[in-house]
Amino acid sequence: MDAAYVSADDIRDHFSKAMSAMYQQEVPQYGTLLSLVERVNRDVLADDADLARSLEASDELARLSVERHGAIRVGLPEELALLRRMFAVMGMYPVGYYDLAAAGVPVHSTAFRPVDDDALRRNPFRVFTSLLRLELIENAALREQAREILSHREIVTPEAQALIARCEAQGGLNAADAEAFVQAALDTFRWHHDATVDRATYDRLHQEHRLIADVVSFHGPHINHLTPRTLDIDAVQQQMPSVGIDPKAVIEGPPRRCCPILLRQTSFKALEETITFADSVAGHHTARFGEIEQRGVALTQKGRALYDQLLAQSRQLPAAQDNATHQAQLAEVFQAFPDDLDTLRREGLAFFHYYAAPDAKVSLPEHIDAETLEALVDQGVLFCQPMIYEDFLPVSAAGIFQSNLGGEERDEYASQANQAQFEHDLGADVIDEIALYASREQASLDAALAVLKGRC
């Protein structure tokens, strides 16, 4: 890349910080949550020197304080495709496909995020992006009206569009353009107190599904939450009420474990905000909330299948009303999931980064098979660190959607997942997240072995 251009990583870092500052202004409770998470993270690190060392070794510590994900929802394929181009300026690419229709939410989604090790280390900002599936609106007149309303809005300012096109044409943005881009891009995600529809239309959309009203009635895809990463989600959940935040009833995802896997999440309820409809009538809308997450090791296909199986098993049990009971039930079921790093690795359940031990010298055979690899790890010649899960979980995401949609659940939509349609609308294929972890693991192993070979 031309040295005159700002790196995509710098633009993303700048943008994620600007977005966090904007959201703190818009939703002051988010600022309170950030302080709580920072305090808990500091306490955890002070109490657990081993964890601090391991996070430091795997470059997790430095990014912890900047790490966030956000979520947005768009209404039309063109909007999704335009945002793909906008996120690409910041080195964020669509990873994974999530079908939420199965959980009664009429959207399908991807996560825009950085993909390579260096970019993830620098700032792993992720945006969970959902496309409304208008075809799931049963009432044909309302469906057409929603499409019509959406066709009149422009979610990316002309200035931002021009800068995206410039970046694509020349392969980067200079410092002044990058700064202008960040400011212009922020506008897309701002909250608007004024709805684009009148009261009656809003009510009709709302009656169909609250989420449809949220996507269709406003000028753009306002950021609906930003989520910091904590090292102890149980502690944050427990302490939320003491700082005036009311968490959702249960933590989503796997139970607490010695070796955290995938992702655990909890949120606080959406705020009721005053809005003005297009016919000047005042009203309320709830959309924006706060969330926290704790991330663990990424699972292989085999590990993920075991997770899905155990989660499904736990969901057969009578639903627990409080978090303690829910966690106890989950923990019981998840005893079937190995909980030490060695077993997770040996059984091919989780992904790891490999490193050459400093000063280790061995002569390596031409072909490294699984047995040799084990021996190298046992001898301390190769180190491994868990590779952190960078993605989302559809069942958890559905739980988060439900809780901030007011808890009213609806039955699943009959429709099937439709990744091909989503990719068509996106204008690109989504990256397969498991393949991505596997290739990062292989690359780290290749690099570690190359270091060892270089020493002989």
Q: Which of 217, 314, 396, 403 binds ligand OOG (CB under 6 A)?
A: 396
The maximal CA–CA distance of the chain, rounded, in angstroms, is 78
Q: Does 354 bind ligand OOG (CB under 6 A)?
A: no
Q: Which of 27, 275, 400, 448 binds ligand OOG (CB under 6 A)?
A: 400
Q: Which of the choices Ni ion, ligand OOG, none does residue 353 contact, using the CB cut-off of 5 to 8 A by kind? A: none
Q: Which of 452, 422, 396, 426 is nearest to 92 (CA)?
A: 426
Stretch in the footprint of ligand OOG (CB under 6 A) among 242-250, 301-309, 377-385, 391-399: 391-399
Stretch in the footprint of Ni ion (CB under 5 A) among 30-38, 213-221, 235-243, 285-293: 285-293
Stretch 126-145 residues interacting with ligand OOG (CB under 6 A): 128, 130
Q: Where are the alpha helices (DSSP H) in 248-380?
A: 301-316, 323-333, 341-346, 370-378
With tokens 């299948």, the residue in question is 305
Beta-strand ranges (E) seen in 25-165 are 68-74, 93-99, 107-113, 126-132
Min dist CB 280 to ligand OOG, Å, is 29
CA distance 241 to 328: 21
Q: CA neighbours within 13 Å on the CB side: how many for 289?
A: 20
Which CB sits closer to Ni ion, 71 or 173?
A: 71
Query: Which DSSP string do the residues of 396-422 spell out, in sequence order?
Result: HHHHHHHHHTTS---PPPSPPP-HHHH
Q: Which of 71, 74, 163, 212 binds ligand OOG (CB under 6 A)?
A: 71
Residue 158 Cα distances to 163, 164, 222, angstroms:
9, 10, 18
Stretch 144-173 residues interacting with Ni ion (CB under 5 A): none
Min dist CB 392 to ligand OOG, Å, is 5
Min dist CB 14 to Ni ion, Å, is 22
Query: Which DSSP string do the residues of 311-346 spell out, in sequence order?
Result: HHHHHHSPPPSSHHHHHHHHHHHGGGS--SHHHHHH
CA distance 287 to 359: 55
Evaluate whether 104 touches 415 at the Cβ level (below 8 Å).
Answer: no
Q: Which of the choices Ni ion, ligand OOG, none does residue 213 contact, using the CB cut-off of 5 to 8 A by kind? A: none
Stretch in the footprint of ligand OOG (CB under 6 A) among 158-166, 195-203, 390-398, 441-449: 390-398
Which CB sits closer to Ni ion, 71 or 72?
A: 71
Count of residues that interact with ligand OOG, criterion CB under 6 A: 12
Stretch in the footprint of ligand OOG (CB under 6 A) among 147-155, 241-249, 277-285, 393-401: 393-401
Q: Is 129 helix (H, G, I), strand (E, B) or coil?
A: strand
Evaluate whether 371 touches 76 at the Cβ level (below 8 Å).
Answer: no
Q: Which residues lie closer than 8 Å to 117 by C-beta, 6 or more apart?
A: 440, 443, 444
Which CB sits closer to Ni ion, 223 or 376?
A: 223
Provide the terminal-to-terminal Cα distance of the chain, rounded to the nearest Å: 35
Stretch in the footprint of ligand OOG (CB under 6 A) among 81-89, 192-200, 375-383, 392-400: 392-400
Stretch 203-242 residues interacting with ligand OOG (CB under 6 A): 224
Q: Which of the choices Ni ion, ligand OOG, none does residue 396 contact, using the CB cut-off of 5 to 8 A by kind? A: ligand OOG
Which CB sits closer to ligand OOG, 131 or 333?
A: 131
Min dist CB 130 to ligand OOG, Å, is 5
Which CB sits closer to ligand OOG, 74 or 377?
A: 74
Count of residues that interact with Ni ion, criterion CB under 5 A: 3
As a whole number of Å, the CA-based R_g of the chain is 23
Q: Which of the choices ligand OOG, Ni ion, none does residue 224 contact, using the CB cut-off of 5 to 8 A by kind? A: ligand OOG
Which strand (E) or helix (H) includes residue 283? strand 282-286
The single-letter DSSP state of residue 97 is E
Stretch in the footprint of Ni ion (CB under 5 A) among 60-68, 281-289, 290-298, 378-386: 290-298
Q: Does 110 bind ligand OOG (CB under 6 A)?
A: no
Q: Does 265 bind ligand OOG (CB under 6 A)?
A: yes
Which CB sits closer to ligand OOG, 98 or 181?
A: 98
Stretch in the footprint of ligand OOG (CB under 6 A) among 77-85, 298-306, 349-357, 394-402: 394-402
Which CB sits closer to Ni ion, 172 or 254?
A: 254
Q: Does 392 bind ligand OOG (CB under 6 A)?
A: yes
CA distance 216 to 205: 8
Q: Which residues lie closer than 8 Å to 12 by C-beta, 6 or more apart?
A: 90, 91, 92, 114, 119, 122, 123, 125
Residue numbers of the site for Ni ion (CB under 5 A)? 71, 227, 291
Residue numbers of the site for ligand OOG (CB under 6 A)? 71, 73, 128, 130, 224, 265, 291, 392, 396-397, 400-401
